[in-house]
Amino acid sequence: MSLLPKDYLAAYEATLQIIEDAIDSQGDELDYENQSGMLTIFCPDGSQVIVSRQAPTEELWLAAKSGGFHFSLADGAKICWRSTRDDSMHLKQRLERVVFEQSRERITFNV
């Protein structure tokens, strides 16, 4: 799916805001830092989960202990990131899983 750069960036920035809001309201043991559009989530064990933009491919990348995951916007969706490798896995499920694996905190992300 090809988007205008401003539409891709708007979706990406809205996604980061949703993630930050979820951590602020639910993540007792988590902290985060948003620097130049890269969101780093700090887990209690010292590990990190990183969300970054990949504008040339219009993707969002997620890096965690369990691996690296790539997502693109679902066709026609404003904010619905679908795995580029496994169409059944959305950012929401993968992010909830990796944050739980690394922090033991159950957080619901509405992305």
pLDDT (0 to 100) of residue 76:
65
Instruction: Write out pLDDT tens, residues 46-66.
Output: 999 999 999 999 999 999 999
Which SS3 state, helix, strand or coil, does residue 76 take? coil
Instruction: Write out pLDDT tens, residues 10-46.
Output: 999 999 999 999 999 998 999 999 999 899 999 999 9
What is the rounded distance in angstroms from the CA atom of residue 94 to the CA atom of residue 104? 14
Q: Which two tokens stand for residue 17?
A: 């805001």
Upper half-sphere CA count for residue 87 (Cβ side, 13 Å): 2
Q: Which two tokens stand for residue 90?
A: 């959305």
Q: Is the pLDDT of residue 2 over 90?
A: no
Its pTM stands at 0.90
